[in-house]
Structure 1
Amino acid sequence: MSQIQQAPAGFAPIGPETHAPGHAARAVAATFGIALGVIAVAAVLLYLISALGSAGVVVSAIAALVPLAAVLLTIRWVDRWEPEPRPALVFAVLWGAGVAVAVALIFDLGVQIALAATGGRPDDLVQAVVQAPIVEEGAKGFGVLLLFWVNRRHFDGPVDGIVYAASVAAGFAFTENILYFGRVLVEQGLGPAFVFTFVVRGIFSPFAHVLFTACTGYALGKAAERGGGAGAGLVAYVLGVIPAAILHALWNGGLSLARSTVEYYLFVEVPIFLAAVAVVLTVRSRERAITRARLGEYADAGWFTPQEVALIATTGGRRQAMRWADAQRDPRAKRTAMTRLIRDATRLGHARQRLVRGRASIGRTPDEQELLARIVADRRILTS
């Protein structure tokens, strides 16, 4: 990193006041969204306590933390190349854990009331294969659609869509696991039935909801990658919910109808899961390729050296850059500056990708200029 260069002459960063309205609007939206999620989670929590008791909810929540931690760590690994804003991820988890669960519960209550009024009886298989997949995937996916509409600055492609969808699904599965674990706990106590339910839901299938909702996230990510507007996002949402609901129905129906749960899991669900992993690895690889290609354009314009691009746009290069920072005087400040520079350079590459279709000139948009200003500031720290 000793060859870090200074910015080209004539660069004029945009002042903070130019970006204040946009930042303020996003901050308000994030605050409102997180507040809505907290309220929904609190309401669902009260419902769970009334149905399962406070002790049952506490024990079930502790058990549900195990699959939640596994999913969140995986999301972090997928998202590490170009991390999404923390408030957006918090909103996504809260939407899944609170709003989406509340929608599913309210819809189910409405169905129960309608059946009681007409003298009908609930059909467990229909609820599992039709109602739950459509309602739950529609509710979870709508949270991702809101992020597509409100957070487009950080919604660049399929990886972002998958990360947001997985975060929503992680929150939903956490609350749903509390409900399932709690019911078994209330009915049969902390015994073999509870352990079996924990193993099936917490060990064998922690990524089930992630797999379903990722379809919607992927579709919205493709719409974002193509530069689609609000209408395109709505179409992508509908198109994404369809395969999400089908996979969800296949999971619920298969577990209900299969002669052997283990065989169904190994020969149907595991191959689908492995295919999904292959898709994620492919889109992550493409994300790295986009970063390298677009930063190469900035290198041609004089903003980076080819060596810098190689360091920022490869996993090995990033590790080398962090080792260099740790070996300098005041390593904490250098490491912080290097982390910010890598993050902002990656976002710069994706901001450039959004402009490729219009072929806008480098440095002519607020997004670019703000990120370039941050990179210049961190270069000064790294070279001081």
Structure 2
Amino acid sequence: MTAPPIDPSAAGPRPGGPVAGMPAFPPPSRRRSGAGTAVVVLIAVAGLVGLLVAGYLAVALGMSVLAVGTLVALVPLAIVLLAVRWVDRWEPEPRWALWLAFLWGAAVSVAIALLVDLGVQLFAAFASPDGASSDEALQAVVQAPFVEELAKGLGVLLIYALARSHLDGPVDGLVYAATIAAGFAFTENILYFGSALIEGGAGELGMTFVIRGLFSPFAHVLFTACTGIAVGIAARRGHGANVFGWFGLGLACAVLLHAFWNGSLAFADAFALYFTVQVPFFVGAIVVTVLLRREERRVTRARLGEYAAAGWFSADEVDGLSSWAGRRAALAWARAQRPPRTGQVQRFIADATRLAFTRNAIATGRADVRRFEDERALLEAVVRDRNTISS
């Protein structure tokens, strides 16, 4: 499909000479009305659920053990969140959406999993007159993968519904899915670390930390990333019911990977499978992530090139915006100014990057009225940013 032509007069002429560099754009504040209220309510509800989950953990583990488990669980959480930030550097997602994703994973997804598990335990107790418990291996390989991945995946769908302009590609889906998974793993690790400390003391806690915190901190991220990437692909191909089919496909992959991981721990030599299967899979995931990030830079260069042809950017600006070296040079220039203009240049980079991805949605036939409104607003923002930098 041919993209609609760019109107060079939509927000006024491009002033001045080029400003090297540019980062990622928070959404226009004017559109936070209904969706903004829903986000605030959801974050508040997720926070309340988080308090209930924390209360459950405090009762189950005790306050002192909960405190130790939380401190230890912060280590793998930091590792994962640093990796997510690396993935999200080119076009950073808004903080409110990331907070919602994290709280959904750490609180709501965990609460769903705990409630389902409680229901299964009660059903097993009533169904077995002799009081026999349910099969733990079956729970680990069937129940946990399906329930946990569905609970986390619903969070990805929720963010897609609330912030479609911010989940418009596989990298965005990966970032939100990884953030949800990081939250879920954080709470789950508190429970595992606390239980290990109660059952076997510091030695058992240390072994559990090595296995969960150092060998496999990205396990949940790899599982849920399948769902996030699938929803991102659906978003890039167009909105509508199409997303549910892709969601189902991604969820199936996430459940299978999760079941395989849990099954390897329950039925096979976990260390052998870790080095022969899990490590190569993790390396493959890194390669896919690098390729997706490279595609983001390609889209930025191509779409800003269209605006350059219409007079909105110079060739030097496009080069600066679409490469890490150009962005670093722009920020170095901004820091050297008196007074420094780092914030202004970062906003210029952010607005221009968001503009490129908005244009990509229009050019590929995925635009609705809001996208065209965003394009106009972002063109105006780029002009303001350039004026602010040069003033």
CA deviations on 1:328-350 (whole Å, 9 max, x unpaired) are 2211xx11010011011111000
CA deviations on 1:34-77 (whole Å, 9 max, x unpaired) are 11210111111000001000111110000000000010011001
What is the distance in 2 between the residues matched to 1:328 and 1:170?
Answer: 39
Structure 2 counterpart of 1:383? 390
CA deviations on 1:237-268 (whole Å, 9 max, x unpaired) are 21111000111011110011123x22211011
CA deviations on 1:291-344 (whole Å, 9 max, x unpaired) are 11001000011100011000011011000111111122211xx11010011011
Per-residue deviation at 1:12? 6.0
Equivalent residue of 1:206, what SS? coil
The within-5 A match list for 1:331-350 is 331=340, 334-350=341-357
CA RMSD of aligned residues (A): 1.9
Structure 1 counterpart of 2:248? 238
Structure 1 counterpart of 2:4? none
The within-5 A match list for 1:106-185 is 106-119=115-128, 121-185=133-197
Structure 2 counterpart of 1:307? 316
Does structure 1 residue 39 correspond to structure 2 residue 48?
A: yes
Structure 2 counterpart of 1:4? none
Per-residue deviation at 1:188? 2.1
Per-residue deviation at 1:357? 2.7
The equivalent position to 1:27 in structure 2, one of 10, 33, 36, is: 36
CA deviations on 1:354-380 (whole Å, 9 max, x unpaired) are 1113398xx992101111121111101
Per-residue deviation at 1:10? 6.0
Does structure 1 residue 192 correspond to structure 2 residue 203?
A: yes
In percent, how many aligned pairs have the same letter?
52
CA deviations on 1:176-199 (whole Å, 9 max, x unpaired) are 00000111112222x211100011
Whether the 8 Å contact between 1:95 and 1:171 is mirrored in structure 2 is: yes
Does structure 1 residue 224 correspond to structure 2 residue 231?
A: no
Taking CA–CA contacts closer than 8 Å with sequence separation of 6 or more, which of the two structures ends up with the larger relative contact order? 2
AA aligned to 2:254 is A
What is the distance in 1 between the residues matched to 2:377 and 2:295?
Answer: 25
CA deviations on 1:202-246 (whole Å, 9 max, x unpaired) are 0000000000000000000000011122x2222222111100011
AA aligned to 1:128 is A
Whether the 8 Å contact between 2:358 and 2:371 is mirrored in structure 1 is: no
Per-residue deviation at 1:121? 2.8
CA deviations on 1:146-169 (whole Å, 9 max, x unpaired) are 111110011110000000000000
The equivalent position to 1:87 in structure 2, one of 93, 96, 100, is: 96
Equivalent residue of 1:154, what SS? coil
CA deviations on 1:255-298 (whole Å, 9 max, x unpaired) are 11123x22211011101111111111111111110011001000
Structure 1: which 4+ aligned runs deviate by more than 6 Å? none
Per-residue deviation at 1:8? 5.5
Whether the 8 Å contact between 2:105 and 2:152 is mirrored in structure 1 is: yes
Structure 2 counterpart of 1:250? 260
Does structure 1 residue 103 correspond to structure 2 residue 103?
A: no
AA aligned to 1:104 is A
CA deviations on 1:71-117 (whole Å, 9 max, x unpaired) are 00110010000000100000000000000000000000000000000
AA aligned to 2:290 is L
What is the distance in 2 between the residues matched to 1:233 and 1:364?
Answer: 19
Name stretches of at least 5 consecutive residues in structure 1 with no aligned partner.
1-6, 14-18
AA aligned to 1:304 is F
- Report the number of matched residues: 367
Equivalent residue of 2:134, what SS? coil
User: TM-score scaled by structure 1?
Assistant: 0.92
Name stretches of at least 5 consecutive residues in structure 2 with no aligned partner.
1-6, 14-27
Does structure 1 residue 204 correspond to structure 2 residue 215?
A: yes
Range with greater deviation from structure 2 (27-36 or 300-309):
27-36
User: TM-score scaled by structure 2?
Assistant: 0.90
What is the distance in 2 between the residues matched to 1:351 and 1:69?
Answer: 31
Per-residue deviation at 1:20? 7.1
Structure 2 counterpart of 1:374? 381
What is the distance in 1 between the residues matched to 2:366 and 2:153?
Answer: 32
What is the distance in 2 between the residues matched to 1:42 and 1:11?
Answer: 47
Does structure 1 residue 268 correspond to structure 2 residue 277?
A: yes
AA aligned to 1:371 is L
What is the distance in 1 between the residues matched to 2:9 and 2:259?
Answer: 59
Equivalent residue of 1:358, what SS? coil
Structure 1 counterpart of 2:290? 281
Equivalent residue of 2:32, what SS? helix
Whether the 8 Å contact between 1:93 and 1:171 is mirrored in structure 2 is: yes
The equivalent position to 2:83 in structure 1, one of 74, 93, 98, is: 74
